[in-house]
Every structure is written in structure tokens, then in C-alpha cells.
Amino acid sequence: MLDLRAQCERCGTALPPDAENARICSFECTFCAVCAAESEHACPNCGGQLQPRPTRVGEALRRNPPEHERASRTTRLTRMAERQATERAELYDFLDSQLVGTLATVDGTDPWTVPLLYARDGDRILLHGSTGAGTLRQVAAGAAAAFCVTAMDGLVVAESTFESSANYRSAVIRGRLTTIAMDDRRTTLDILSERLLPGRNAEVGGSTRKQVAATVALALEITDDNWLMKTRTGEPGQPAEPVDVWCGVVPLTITAGAPVEAPWSVGPVPASVRAFVAARRPE
């Protein structure tokens, strides 16, 4: 049954089942007629042709109402559902423990991905980069995006390569990013710096006006229906038959080494760097 999605994926225009201005591709990506025309009737997601969507009315609509479950399909695991995290607290703890994520979007038919430092500020992800960065310009213009953060916590070695796996945590947040206004950009950059290297702002001062002007700052809201977190922990699954090879887990962690001083550096290692290293030293 055709998936009657409730709104345009680009501008959010409502597209009820009887909408005559709905356009779809063969993958059921859905856009309004205006956005379809602006993309020259080529789907921005897959490149396929966008055509008028059949309407569903009357008894057919009553017997087969649209489910509008696209958001839930992208935020609910259909395989190994027991590995899904459902509490925001777990998601936020994980996001706060990492430093780098990957931002992905699509420009016409071309996928774009870029790794970025990030920070969580309440219910949003903060990103920043050069005003000349192509991917950031694309999402700043309203392109849909996904931001992924992954940590590999261990190599799971089973009795066969087929049964072997990894212990990991991963989170994907989907949506459209908003550009932070110039008046709030300096504060945003200070928040990012403080999350990444706490205390450094006080040691060197915040961003200058020139630095702020050369930087774009973006925010991705975390809502109830736009994120999915998946984890695997523990040993390999116990085989049904006895084995004659070693099985187990090789733990993996990211640790900080001793700071390496730049040739032009002045003074001792600052408190911010010492604290950062201490928090990431092996126990």
C-alpha cells in the first residue's frame, strides 16, 4: 500500500491523503508541487522522477488510513530491538562522552559527509565550521541532514568470524539544522569550546569579532521522534556446541597521551589541558 506521508520533506507543507499537490518518487519520498518544481521534478534524495501522488478518499481512505510512521521507522529498530536505548539520559551521557560526529546530507543526487567536533547544549547539538564549508552551507540552506556519533568499545571474538562482532554505542539524530544568528554566535562558540576543552575560554579569552564573522554556527534540535541510539555490550553469544578456540572480548578505549608542546608555546601546560588529559588517562 502506498505510503501517504503527511508533509513535504523539504518545506513541511501539509499533504493530507486527498492533496492534489503531492509529488512522490518510486521510493515514496514526498514533496509538495512547489518544491518538486524547484528541484526540476528530480527527487533530492534518490534522483528519481517526482510525479503526482494518487489521492485516497472516501471508503478507501476509511479502510486504509495513512499510518504516517516514517519518523518512527527511522527511530525504531526493527532488528535486535533489545539493543535500542529509549531514555534521553542514556543518549545524552553518550553524546557528552564523545568529541566527534559525522554530518551527512544530500546535494541533489550527491551525498555529502563531513566529520565535525560537536557539543551538546541541552536538547540540541551545536556544530561549527568555516563559512566557506560546502556541507555546512548546504544544511544551513535547509537541506535535511543526519548526524551520527559512534564509539567502538570492544572487539567481540567468537568461535567463528561469522559470529564475531563488536561492542559499540551509536546514535543518529535526523532533522534540519538552524543557523545561529550573529548576535548569539559568540556565545555558541564559547559553549562549544567549553564543552570540548573546559576552562580554555578563561585562559585565552573568547572568540574575537573577526573569528565569529568567519564561522558559521548551527544547531540540531533533539526531539522525541528524531533520534535512535543502539548499543551492544557483553561477551560473544555462547555456542550450542563445545569449541576448541579462544573466545572473548578485547576492550577498546580512547586515552590521552602526554601533551606535546608547540615550538612557539610559552609557559607550563595549562590547567584546562591537564584536566582533559587526566580525565582520559587509563586507570
The CA–CA distances, whole Å, from 73 to 70, 88, 173, 229 equal 5, 18, 13, 13
Q: Which three cell numbers stand for residue 260?
A: 606535546
3-class SS of residue 203: helix
243 in any annotated domain: no
**Positions in the chain short of pLDDT 50:** 69-72
Containing structural domain, residue 26: 22-68
Q: What is the pLDDT of residue 70?
A: 43
Q: What is the pLDDT of residue 74?
A: 61
5 in any annotated domain: no
**CATH number of the domain that 82 lies in?**
2.30.110.10
Q: What is the pLDDT of residue 195?
A: 93
Q: Are residues 183 and 266 in the same domain?
A: no
Q: Are residues 181 and 89 in the same domain?
A: yes
Q: Are residues 31 and 45 in the same domain?
A: yes
> Given CA atoms 265, 268, 269, 272 in this order, what sign does their dihedral have?
negative
Q: What is the pLDDT of residue 277?
A: 95
**Cα 35 to the chain's mean position, in Å?**
24
For residue 30, what are the contacts with CB-CB under 8 A and spacing of at least 6?
A: 5, 7, 8, 9, 15, 22, 23, 24, 53
Q: Are residues 114 and 219 in the same domain?
A: yes
Q: Are residues 137 and 223 in the same domain?
A: yes
12 in any annotated domain: no
Q: Are residues 265 and 128 in the same domain?
A: no
Q: Is the pTM of this model over 0.75?
A: no
pLDDT digits (tens, 9 = 90+) for 105-132: 887 778 889 999 999 999 999 999 887 7
Q: What is the pLDDT of residue 261?
A: 95
Of 68, 102, 125, the one marking the end of a domain is 68
3-class SS of residue 262: coil
